Amino acid sequence: MGMLNNNSKSKMTSTDAEYQLNHSEFIVLGLIAEGPSHAYQLNEKIKERGMRDWTSIGKSSVYRVIKSLRKEGYADRWIEEVDNRVIKVYQITEKGLKTLKKHVYEVLKSFYGRNDEDFYVAFSMLPLLSKEKQIEALNYSIENMKIHITELKQMLEENSQMPLNVTGLFIHPIEILKTDIKFLEWVLEQIKKGKGSAVPKDYINQEKKEK
Protein backbone atom coordinates (compact mmCIF):
# COMPACT_ATOMS: atom_id res chain seq x y z
CA MET A 1 0.00 0.00 0.00
CA GLY A 2 3.01 2.27 0.11
CA MET A 3 2.39 2.95 3.81
CA LEU A 4 4.97 4.15 6.31
CA ASN A 5 7.33 1.58 7.73
CA ASN A 6 10.25 1.34 10.11
CA ASN A 7 13.46 0.10 8.55
CA SER A 8 15.81 2.23 10.60
CA LYS A 9 17.66 -0.75 12.01
CA SER A 10 18.59 -2.11 8.61
CA LYS A 11 22.04 -1.47 7.23
CA MET A 12 22.27 1.26 4.63
CA THR A 13 24.53 0.36 1.74
CA SER A 14 25.86 2.10 -1.31
CA THR A 15 27.82 1.30 -4.43
CA ASP A 16 30.70 2.83 -2.52
CA ALA A 17 32.07 -0.07 -0.45
CA GLU A 18 33.39 2.41 2.09
CA TYR A 19 29.90 3.63 2.89
CA GLN A 20 28.28 1.20 5.31
CA LEU A 21 27.03 2.29 8.70
CA ASN A 22 24.35 0.64 10.77
CA HIS A 23 22.19 2.58 13.22
CA SER A 24 24.47 2.21 16.26
CA GLU A 25 27.63 2.95 14.27
CA PHE A 26 25.97 6.07 12.88
CA ILE A 27 25.23 7.37 16.38
CA VAL A 28 28.64 6.63 17.90
CA LEU A 29 30.64 7.91 14.93
CA GLY A 30 28.64 11.14 15.05
CA LEU A 31 29.45 11.59 18.73
CA ILE A 32 33.15 10.90 18.18
CA ALA A 33 33.10 13.48 15.37
CA GLU A 34 32.33 16.15 17.98
CA GLY A 35 35.76 15.64 19.52
CA PRO A 36 38.03 12.99 21.08
CA SER A 37 36.11 10.98 23.69
CA HIS A 38 36.39 7.84 25.75
CA ALA A 39 33.57 5.31 25.95
CA TYR A 40 32.23 6.59 29.27
CA GLN A 41 31.96 10.14 27.89
CA LEU A 42 30.08 8.83 24.86
CA ASN A 43 27.57 7.05 27.08
CA GLU A 44 27.18 10.22 29.15
CA LYS A 45 26.42 12.28 26.04
CA ILE A 46 23.83 9.74 24.97
CA LYS A 47 22.23 9.91 28.41
CA GLU A 48 22.35 13.73 28.72
CA ARG A 49 20.75 14.22 25.31
CA GLY A 50 18.05 11.65 25.95
CA MET A 51 19.17 9.76 22.86
CA ARG A 52 17.91 6.43 24.13
CA ASP A 53 14.40 7.89 23.87
CA TRP A 54 14.71 8.39 20.11
CA THR A 55 17.36 5.87 19.04
CA SER A 56 18.05 2.18 19.61
CA ILE A 57 21.49 2.51 21.16
CA GLY A 58 22.15 0.50 24.32
CA LYS A 59 24.76 1.30 26.95
CA SER A 60 26.81 -1.81 26.25
CA SER A 61 26.51 -1.24 22.50
CA VAL A 62 28.97 1.65 22.58
CA TYR A 63 31.97 -0.56 23.36
CA ARG A 64 31.10 -3.07 20.65
CA VAL A 65 30.45 -0.33 18.11
CA ILE A 66 33.74 1.44 18.81
CA LYS A 67 35.58 -1.81 18.11
CA SER A 68 33.75 -2.10 14.79
CA LEU A 69 34.50 1.52 13.84
CA ARG A 70 38.20 1.04 14.54
CA LYS A 71 38.26 -2.14 12.48
CA GLU A 72 36.77 -0.26 9.52
CA GLY A 73 39.27 2.58 9.90
CA TYR A 74 36.62 5.12 10.89
CA ALA A 75 38.10 5.84 14.33
CA ASP A 76 41.57 5.99 15.89
CA ARG A 77 42.49 5.25 19.50
CA TRP A 78 45.20 6.29 21.90
CA ILE A 79 45.87 5.67 25.57
CA GLU A 80 45.91 8.29 28.33
CA GLU A 81 46.60 7.88 32.03
CA VAL A 82 44.33 9.86 34.35
CA ASP A 83 44.54 9.48 38.15
CA ASN A 84 46.53 6.27 37.72
CA ARG A 85 43.83 4.90 35.42
CA VAL A 86 44.39 3.92 31.82
CA ILE A 87 41.78 5.49 29.52
CA LYS A 88 41.24 4.73 25.85
CA VAL A 89 40.41 7.85 23.85
CA TYR A 90 38.78 7.67 20.43
CA GLN A 91 38.81 10.15 17.56
CA ILE A 92 37.23 10.12 14.11
CA THR A 93 39.54 9.62 11.11
CA GLU A 94 39.41 11.42 7.76
CA LYS A 95 37.85 8.28 6.30
CA GLY A 96 35.32 8.22 9.11
CA LEU A 97 34.38 11.88 8.66
CA LYS A 98 33.94 11.43 4.91
CA THR A 99 31.73 8.38 5.49
CA LEU A 100 29.72 10.14 8.20
CA LYS A 101 28.98 13.19 6.06
CA LYS A 102 27.90 10.98 3.19
CA HIS A 103 25.63 8.97 5.48
CA VAL A 104 24.02 12.09 6.96
CA TYR A 105 23.35 13.40 3.45
CA GLU A 106 21.91 10.11 2.17
CA VAL A 107 19.63 9.59 5.19
CA LEU A 108 18.22 13.12 4.95
CA LYS A 109 17.81 12.80 1.19
CA SER A 110 16.02 9.45 1.38
CA PHE A 111 13.63 10.40 4.21
CA TYR A 112 9.99 10.37 3.13
CA GLY A 113 7.86 10.12 6.23
CA ARG A 114 8.92 6.77 7.58
CA ASN A 115 9.21 6.23 11.31
CA ASP A 116 12.96 6.24 10.85
CA GLU A 117 15.30 6.58 13.82
CA ASP A 118 18.21 7.27 11.48
CA PHE A 119 16.50 10.46 10.32
CA TYR A 120 16.60 11.89 13.84
CA VAL A 121 20.27 10.97 14.13
CA ALA A 122 21.06 12.53 10.74
CA PHE A 123 19.08 15.66 11.59
CA SER A 124 21.04 16.06 14.82
CA MET A 125 24.21 16.10 12.68
CA LEU A 126 22.87 18.58 10.12
CA PRO A 127 25.74 21.08 10.76
CA LEU A 128 28.24 18.56 9.35
CA LEU A 129 26.90 19.36 5.88
CA SER A 130 27.44 22.54 3.91
CA LYS A 131 24.44 24.83 3.43
CA GLU A 132 24.20 23.69 -0.19
CA LYS A 133 24.17 20.01 0.75
CA GLN A 134 21.56 20.59 3.45
CA ILE A 135 19.23 22.32 0.98
CA GLU A 136 19.86 19.74 -1.73
CA ALA A 137 19.12 16.76 0.52
CA LEU A 138 15.96 18.21 2.07
CA ASN A 139 14.56 19.43 -1.26
CA TYR A 140 15.02 15.93 -2.65
CA SER A 141 13.21 14.46 0.36
CA ILE A 142 10.30 16.91 0.01
CA GLU A 143 9.86 16.14 -3.69
CA ASN A 144 9.84 12.40 -2.98
CA MET A 145 7.21 12.85 -0.29
CA LYS A 146 5.02 14.88 -2.64
CA ILE A 147 5.25 12.10 -5.21
CA HIS A 148 4.36 9.55 -2.53
CA ILE A 149 1.31 11.60 -1.49
CA THR A 150 0.12 11.65 -5.10
CA GLU A 151 0.50 7.87 -5.30
CA LEU A 152 -1.37 7.34 -2.03
CA LYS A 153 -4.19 9.66 -3.09
CA GLN A 154 -4.56 7.72 -6.32
CA MET A 155 -4.76 4.44 -4.40
CA LEU A 156 -7.26 6.01 -1.99
CA GLU A 157 -9.44 7.06 -4.90
CA GLU A 158 -9.29 3.56 -6.35
CA ASN A 159 -10.37 2.15 -2.99
CA SER A 160 -12.81 4.90 -2.01
CA GLN A 161 -15.69 2.45 -1.62
CA MET A 162 -13.77 0.31 0.84
CA PRO A 163 -14.55 0.48 4.60
CA LEU A 164 -12.86 2.89 7.00
CA ASN A 165 -10.34 0.32 8.20
CA VAL A 166 -8.94 0.24 4.65
CA THR A 167 -9.26 3.88 3.54
CA GLY A 168 -7.83 5.05 6.86
CA LEU A 169 -4.60 3.22 6.04
CA PHE A 170 -4.13 5.59 3.10
CA ILE A 171 -5.39 8.75 4.78
CA HIS A 172 -3.15 8.41 7.83
CA PRO A 173 0.19 8.29 5.95
CA ILE A 174 -0.98 11.10 3.66
CA GLU A 175 -1.56 13.36 6.68
CA ILE A 176 1.78 12.36 8.21
CA LEU A 177 3.57 13.15 4.95
CA LYS A 178 1.89 16.57 4.80
CA THR A 179 3.13 17.32 8.31
CA ASP A 180 6.66 16.17 7.47
CA ILE A 181 6.71 18.33 4.35
CA LYS A 182 5.57 21.35 6.36
CA PHE A 183 8.34 20.71 8.89
CA LEU A 184 11.06 20.29 6.26
CA GLU A 185 9.93 23.42 4.42
CA TRP A 186 10.27 25.32 7.70
CA VAL A 187 13.75 23.81 8.19
CA LEU A 188 14.73 24.94 4.70
CA GLU A 189 13.63 28.49 5.51
CA GLN A 190 15.80 28.44 8.62
CA ILE A 191 18.78 27.07 6.69
CA LYS A 192 18.45 29.80 4.07
CA LYS A 193 18.54 32.34 6.90
CA GLY A 194 21.89 30.88 7.94
CA LYS A 195 20.64 28.94 10.95
CA GLY A 196 21.69 25.54 9.64
CA SER A 197 25.26 26.26 10.66
CA ALA A 198 24.40 26.77 14.33
CA VAL A 199 26.23 23.97 16.07
CA PRO A 200 26.48 22.43 19.54
CA LYS A 201 29.40 23.63 21.65
CA ASP A 202 31.18 20.32 21.10
CA TYR A 203 31.30 20.93 17.35
CA ILE A 204 33.23 24.20 17.73
CA ASN A 205 36.43 22.18 18.00
CA GLN A 206 35.56 20.31 14.82
CA GLU A 207 37.45 22.43 12.31
CA LYS A 208 37.17 20.04 9.40
CA LYS A 209 34.71 21.55 6.96
CA GLU A 210 32.74 20.28 4.02
CA LYS A 211 34.88 20.62 0.92
Answer yes or no: pTM beyond 0.85. Answer: no
| Residue 82 sits in the same domain as residue 153 | no
Long-range (24+ apart) CB contacts under 8 A made by 67-74 are 68/25, 69/25, 69/28, 69/29, 69/32, 69/96, 72/20, 74/25, 74/29, 74/99, 74/100
CATH of the domain at 21: 1.10.10.10
In this prediction, residue 105 carries a pLDDT of 97
pLDDT in tens, 62-76: 999 999 999 999 999
Residues 67, 29 share a domain = yes
| 20, 100: one domain | yes
**Domain region containing 144:** 130-198
Q: Enumerate the β-bridge partners of residue 76.
A: 91
* 102 and 135 housed in the same domain: no
Is the domain of 192 the same as that of 139? Answer: yes
* Number of domains comprising the chain: 2
pLDDT in tens, 182-198: 999 999 999 999 888 75
Q: Which residues contact 95 (CB under 8 A, 6 or more apart)?
A: 18, 73, 74
Residue 209 lies in a domain: no
CA 23-28-34 angle, 5° bins? 135
Tell me, yes or no, whether 86 and 33 share the same domain: yes
Q: Is residue 136, in this structure, part of any structural domain at all?
A: yes
The reply to whether 100 and 141 lie within a common domain is no
Q: Classify residue 37 as left (phi > 0), alpha (psi -120 to 50) or beta.
A: beta
Q: Is 125 helix (H, G, I), strand (E, B) or coil?
A: coil
Distance (Å, rounded) from C-alpha 163 to C-alpha 103?
Answer: 41
